[in-house]
Amino acid sequence: MLALATAGCLWGTGFFFGKVALSEMPVATMILFRLAFTCAGLVPAILFDRPHFEGSELGWLFAASVLGVPVLFLVQFKGLSLTTVSHASLMVGTLPMLLAVAAVVFSRERLHVGGWLALVASTVGAGLIALSGNRASGTAHATVQGDLLVVLSMLAAIAWILISKRLMRGHSALIVTASVFWIGTIMLAVVILTAFGVPSLQYSTRAWVAVAEQGLFATASATVLWNGDSSGFPHLTREFS
């Protein structure tokens, strides 16, 4: 529980520092640099525990890498660029309820009555927040489009989490996390470099600190804590069963 709570807190910082970085960097550039720091932070996992994925596991690993890195981050931070930090954070709050539903449908896990009531209440609350984006005072820069893109990115996150859980049945959480981010980041780098060319490095120290925080703390550390070790921390979906 402590690991999951800490992961949630670290993830939350990513939106604030993401907004700081986006004040100077394009979305694609910021994400590429963020994930470069993430991969750097996960290097020890690759060096000390070499990945050994075989057969169908390679297909699942590729799917988790595509959904959990390029799709998730590009859609989520495109949404962030169109809405506010507070709205984006609230939209990410839909992840537990969406994940609970996915666990029930795809993993055949059970959700008690109180869980279903909380699920409905959360859904209504998130909908009201999104629809009030253009009307509430102090949220002039929040848009329904931005909020919905952040919610859409959560669907990719759900697929990534469920696939990662499947892979962690036979591999350590650390090596699954590191493999997904390294493969996903390489694919993202190819797309960005092909579409936009080599990104500029001429940004302020403030922007670089914001990107480094996102990569090392809001992504690498948070994801390692979130996934945990198969013999240690519980998975999030168990909290809803």
pLDDT of 226 reads 83
Report yes or no: 94 and 122 within 8 Å, Cβ to Cβ: yes
Report yes or no: 97 and 119 within 8 Å, Cβ to Cβ: yes
Where along the chain do its domains lie? Answer: 2-240
Q: Write the pLDDT tens digit of every residue in 62-119.
A: 999 999 999 999 898 888 888 877 777 677 766 766 777 777 777 666 767 776 677 6
pLDDT of 14 reads 86
DSSP string, 103-168: HHHHS-----HHHHHHHHHHHHHHHHHHHTTTTSTT-TT--HHHHHHHHHHHHHHHHHHHHHHHHT
Residue 229: pLDDT band by 50, 70, 90 thresholds? very low
Q: Write the pLDDT tens digit of every residue in 137-166.
A: 454 467 888 888 988 898 899 999 889 988
136/143 Cα distance (integer angstroms): 11
180: which residues sit within 8 A by CB, 6+ positions away? 61, 64, 65, 68, 69, 160, 164
Give the angle subtended at the CA of 17 by the CAs of 124 and 97, to the nearest 5°.
Answer: 25
Minimal CA–CA distance to 156: which of 216, 221, 233, 76?
A: 76
pLDDT of 236 reads 39
Q: Which residue has the higher pLDDT, 49 or 54?
A: 54
Q: Write the pLDDT tens digit of every residue in 166-219.
A: 899 888 889 999 999 999 999 999 999 999 899 999 999 999 999 999 999 999
Output the six-digit token pair for 207. Answer: 């922007």
Minimal CA–CA distance to 21: which of 208, 198, 215?
A: 208
